[in-house]
A and B are shown apart, each in its own frame.
Chain A
Amino acid sequence: MPCLFNPNYSFFIEVNRKFKQMKNNKKQGSLRLIYQITQIIFWIYTGAALLVTGTIAGIYLHLFGENLHVGISIPAGFELIGQGSLQLSGQTIPVGFTQAFGNISMPASTSLWGGNGLFLLTGVWIFFLIFKFFRSFIRNVYKGKIFEISNFLLLRKIAYGLLICWSIILLNSIFLYFFIVPHLHFDSMQLSGNIKFHAEILFIALFLMVLSRIFLHGIQLEEDQQFTI
């Protein structure tokens, strides 16, 4: 009769096998969820990108009529100077309104709108490419292809894409600071420009670059492991 405490007893082997299978299934389940969410968001984004492209093409080709009034809404951050008060526990505390983020809206001529439309299209399709690379990366991981050269290349492409996006956003911010904000005049408030550095995008891009190097190292280690007899 087999002893229950013997590790070679088939009961323990079976339990161990089931436990490993459960762990594997759990991992697969969470990966499947991430994969499916990425797929859904990717296709929604693709649809939205095509819609935006179609709309911009329609405006360029005057498909919506000649009398269409187009406007530009440029996102910008402002430093505002405003004084107020805060009533708290019977005390009046003076407060200052210092910073706000919003959009500068203006009616635009066709040429001005054209430039803005191209800028928008570039951003939309760069994000589309980043999303596409990310989807491919997730799909590879989901299929168990982790330490592969394609994953290293995909991560590097995502990092470069984010760096391009960061550069465009920074250039836009500099452009607004030097060329738009000094010429803005509002009766009700005083404005001063603010260059947004967007360090978080730069940080993610640099992190992905480091991660891609780690993947490359992992690929080399796996190759070494594969050719170890």
Chain B
Amino acid sequence: MAIIVNLDVVLARRKMSLTELSSKVGITMTNLSVLKTGKAKAIRFSTLESICQILHCQPGEILEYQSDNQIKE
């Protein structure tokens, strides 16, 4: 998939665990894992807003576009 989720990178920068984010945002660990591993097919604006609010970041820091060639490299 051409959209890369950098949630783990942002979490590492903020020194926050996935469990902590899960409890603060109110999303289950399963759903956050799906998002982190890049298995998610879509993300709601409300979810993105909550994550950005807790992590004090912009959506662009969490989501990144990479072309298929870039992914192969």
Q: Which residues of A contact B (CB under 8 A)?
A: 223-224, 227-229
Contact = CB atoms under 8 A, between A and B. Distances in A.
Contacts of A229: 27, 31-32, 34-35, 40, 42-44, 47
Interface string B7-47: 00000000000000000000100011011000111111001
**Max chain B C-beta neighbours (<10 A), residue from A223, A224, A228:** A228
A17 to B, nearest CB: 22
Contacts, number: 23
A229 B27 CA distance: 8
Nearest to A223: B41
Contacts of A223: 41
Interface of B: 27, 31-32, 34-35, 39-44, 47
Where chain A touches its partner, the secondary structure class is mixed
A221 to B, nearest CB: 11
A223 B34 CA distance: 13
A227 B39 contact: yes
Contacts of A224: 41-42
Contacts of B42: 224, 227-229
Nearest to B43: A229
Nearest to B41: A227
**Max chain B C-beta neighbours (<10 A), residue from A223, A224, A228, A229:** A229
Nearest to B28: A229
A70 B43 CA distance: 70
B11 to A, nearest CB: 15
7 contacts: A223-B41, A224-B42, A227-B40, A227-B42, A228-B43, A229-B40, A229-B42
B55 to A, nearest CB: 15
Nearest to B30: A229
